[in-house]
Structure 1
Amino acid sequence: MSLSIDRAIEESISSKLGRESEKRRGWTRSQLASIVALSVRHARDLEGLSVCPNLETLVLVGCKMSAIEELPRLDSVVSLTVEDSALKSLVGVGRWRLFSLRVKRDLIEDLEPLMELPRMKRADVTGNPISQSSRGVMIPQLVSRGIEVEYSSEREWGITLRLHAAGLPFSYYRTTSGFRLSRPGLDFSDKPESGHPFIEPEEMEALLSGPLGSLRETMHDLFQREDLMWPKGER
């Protein structure tokens, strides 16, 4: 194979195929064609995914990508997850016949491309800086088509928008354990899916109302505080 393959993708494929195929030179076309589900973390070049032509379920976590169009054409994909990856543009997503799309904690503003997915049943856009138009128009339209859409509450969404307006491409979201802050993509962390500090909405709003000059440094400092890595009740 002459195609250059990102190490993270190579490791994922080797893990999927088992120890007998740990090294890339040991892969056969039939083995690669047998892979229908793959999970990749921290890849910086996604072209290598094209060696698995029959993928149906693809999970990308903390990978370097800003647009769906950066993915190679994989016609069999019906379930796509791109999380913590600084994905901003969904243009081109209509190339797939997706049933499920999870794009949590990315940088997506425009949801209109999702209207190109007539077979979609589930979409999760939690933790994105969704535009006013997409939140007020596109999400209701998707729901009216019978699509189950998960998205941030107005308060979390509002804080995320304020962060972006301040030049901080972060995501603020809620889990069953509490409210957390994340930094999508690989610009700030090699593992952007982990190390998300717990911080209450009131604290976030107070920080965002403070001096803009020190805000960026303060926000980045939150990710270095060990005391914020657990919910309040567990500290």
Structure 2
Amino acid sequence: MQLHTLEGYIQNIFLAEQPQGLLLLDGCSRADVDMVCAFITDTLGRPLSDLKLIVVTHMHPDHAGGAIPLKKRTGARIAAHPKAAKWYAGVMGRTAHIIDVALMYWVAQRLGKDRRLAWYAPILKPDINLSDQQTLPGFEDWQVIYTPGHTDHDLSLYHGPSGQVYVADLLVKVKGQLHPPYPICHPNQYRQSLHKVATMQAHTLFCAHVKPLQASDIDFEHIIANAPVLPKNHWHATKNRVIKKLRIPRNA
């Protein structure tokens, strides 16, 4: 297994090259589709049909936006957790989708990237539903690890033979220090997911927004101890602002 790292629109993209075909560890953004296809054909010298499986670790724009266009161009199947399909369902879900796309553009601007087409369908219909501990169809040396918290359907992917695990947005860096991502929708599950990864046999962690990490260098206990105990997302942030503005002083 050879793991290729590509620089995406706002995130790292990981493409596993194996004898049976190519595995995309995450759905990337819609803005990355042309680049991923060019890498397969021009750099690897392989037909697009060699991309066999695209895993969507969660539904945020930089992890799911490219999945459907890539499927149309390559014929690859899409795999995700069953809860991913309903993440952006309903009025509140559609609103969250718009906010998340806007946040992606904000991050891109801060990274000095130009504005690119990145809108994508909010509802995903995966070909394969993935559950905790199962192996990836066609790539049985990869194991699915259910690591919710950032959303209710986050997945990590563990390659046992090489001791490497892709954890998507489980960890980010703020001012050079490892931190929980934003949002954290399920704080208790997030801490459990950190503990699950900490106790694995993996020695190298790959993240969507952080350079590769050695597991032995990560102070998981500190991160778990300082992780949010209440949800931190768009809705709670808005609600707290409203409450703060409406709060009446006790001595009024």
TM-score by length of 2: 0.30
Q: Which has the higher strand share?
A: 2
Given the two structures, how large is their TM-score scaled by the length of structure 1?
0.32
